Structure 1
Amino acid sequence: PFAIYATAQVLATLEANSIFNVLDPAIVPRRLLAPTEEMAICGADGHETGVAIEAFPVPGKVALYLEQRGDAGADFSSDTGDTIGVRISGAVGRGAVFFVPGCARTDAALRTRLADAACLLFDGTVYTDDEMVTAGVGQKTGTRMGHIAMSGQAGSIAGLADVKIARRIFIHINNTNPVLDENSAEHAAIKAAGWEVASDGMEMEF
């Protein structure tokens, strides 16, 4: 048995949709992730797993199925807590890995939070903002989907270049992204900038 940890927004969505209730809360407990509060993760039985996490808001957009709601921003920007990153550590107070699979931009708050990270797993959806449009596989830019591009002056490589991070790894990579080709100029560029590309079956030990 396992437990679900989620923000208030996600827990409300689970509660409102009967499909999600096939995971009976009596068997799979649901627990609130309080923003910016470090907490020990426990299994369904309540015993600590030895892992501590801290959820924090990051720039993003509302989920696709919520874009029609009346309070969505003009650019579909999200409310605080709709898009989060997670700080993961082996015990409360120790060095951490940061998991940020979706992010619209690198703002000052995010850069400050990521400083001195042992490892960053970061949104690598697209290399250029118009990548999917140029490839002819979609009409949405990375910006429209709430995903920052890797390249460019407003991209994640430039935006996090001056942040002290021991290891940087791109994850959540779209199949149009040329960095997946290890022989591409784009792959060489991200490697030169100190980044790695995650791969299927990749394991890391900290």
Structure 2
Amino acid sequence: MAIRVRLLGTAAGGGLPQWNCACDNCLAARAGKIPTRTQSSVALSADGRNWFLVNASPDLRVQMEATPALHPRETSARNSPIAGVLLTNADLDHVLGLILLREGEPLSVLATDAVRETLTGPLGFETLLGGFCGIRWEKVTEDFSTLRLRDGSSSGLAVRTIFLPGGPPRFDKTSTAQSGHSVAYQIRDERGARLLLAPDVAEITPELQGALEESEAVIFDGTFWVADELRRINPEARTAQQMGHLPIRDGSLDVLRKSPARWKVFTHLNNTNPILAMDSPERTAVLSAGVLIGEDGLEFEL
């Protein structure tokens, strides 16, 4: 079995174009000059039939319809090939898609205690989904553990959790958790091939660096090009680091340039990021470093 990967969405919260934004990239996307993007989510499978989502964006219904492998099979009137969801944090652009899955079977959701606390507390997801399909919470582990299908059998994939620095989402004022608000996941198949998924990274920790060095594919946080990117639009805006994102320039680009991975892809791209512009020097710098700029629908296999 291989690791099959499809980027369902590659934009940060708001998508591209963002509904209330008239920046250069949003204008270009509306004019058809650059690709539009839905909010970030990834689909993974070992067999091409059973799939796991890494984050469930508000755009999930559109993403699933654009992906035939995620369509229900004709074997019964109601079914889904989605076996579970892995959450890297509790940000709204990563969890609101869970509501769209409410009409199916009980949701299997892998999340840290901190993320679960936010989803069951301020967001009330356990109450909300309890009136429909319900949630079956899965515990994260820092050692590899088997990702299981609905019937309990092995999916052919294993996952381990890499804890990252970061606090709760800005809407959660009640969380008491000291860690676990943001994580990366490393996926391993039965042959030993490894994929690192890290869409929200505030800092390259030793554990994350180790995963970068041993993974054949890396899908990484590309939210902002520079730390003060949003302040060029709104002087009162937070910096990239204050929002929990390592900027590409003077940050993640050099790290990924040195990574031995065969596939290196930036995702979770904010609409203000200059690497989205087809003729920008920033885009050229990324591609010259051997890193792809993720687009919705990008597929590859390890």
Q: Same fold (TM over 0.5)?
A: yes
| Structure 2 residue corresponding to 1:63, chosen from 169, 186, 207 | 169
Identify the residue that residue 195 of structure 2 maps to in structure 1.
97
| Letter of the structure 1 residue corresponding to residue 144 of structure 2 | E
Instruction: Give the fraction of aligned pairs with identical amino acids, expressed as a percent.
Output: 25
Which structure has more relative contact order (CA 8 Å, sep 6+)? It is: 2
In structure 2, relative to structure 1, the CA distance for the partners of 1:19 and 1:27 (3 Å cut) is closer
> Which one of the candidate residues 131, 145, 168 is aligned to 1:39?
145
Alignment TM-score, normalising by the size of structure 2? 0.58
How far 1:117 moved relative to its partner?
A: 1.1
TM-score by length of 1: 0.83
CA distance in 2, matches of 1:98, 1:39: 15
Contact 1:56 1:81 in 2 (8 A): no
Residue of structure 1 in register with 2:99 after alignment = none
- Give the Cα–Cα distance (whole angstroms) in 2 for the partners of residues 82 and 41 of structure 1: 21
5 Å-filtered alignment, 1:1-206, equals: 1=105, 2-16=107-121, 17-24=123-130, 27-34=134-141, 36-66=142-172, 68=173, 79-91=178-190, 94-136=192-234, 139-152=237-250, 155-206=251-302
Q: Sort the Cα spacing of 1:162 and 1:18 in 2 relative to 1 into closer, same or farther, 3 A.
A: closer
The question of whether the paired residues in 2 share the 8 Å contact of 1:29 and 1:44 is answered with no
Gaps of 5+ in 2: 1-104
Q: What's the offset of the Cα at 1:123?
A: 0.4
**Contact 2:165 2:202 (C-alpha < 8 Å) held by counterparts:** yes
* SS at 1:170 equivalent: strand
Deviating more after overlay: 13-22 vs 186-195: 13-22
Alpha-carbon RMSD across the aligned residues, in angstroms, is: 2.4
- Displacement of 1:135: 3.0
Cα distance, 1:105 vs structure 2: 1.8
Per-residue CA deviations over 1:162-187 (Å, capped at 9, x if unaligned) read 33322210000000001111211100
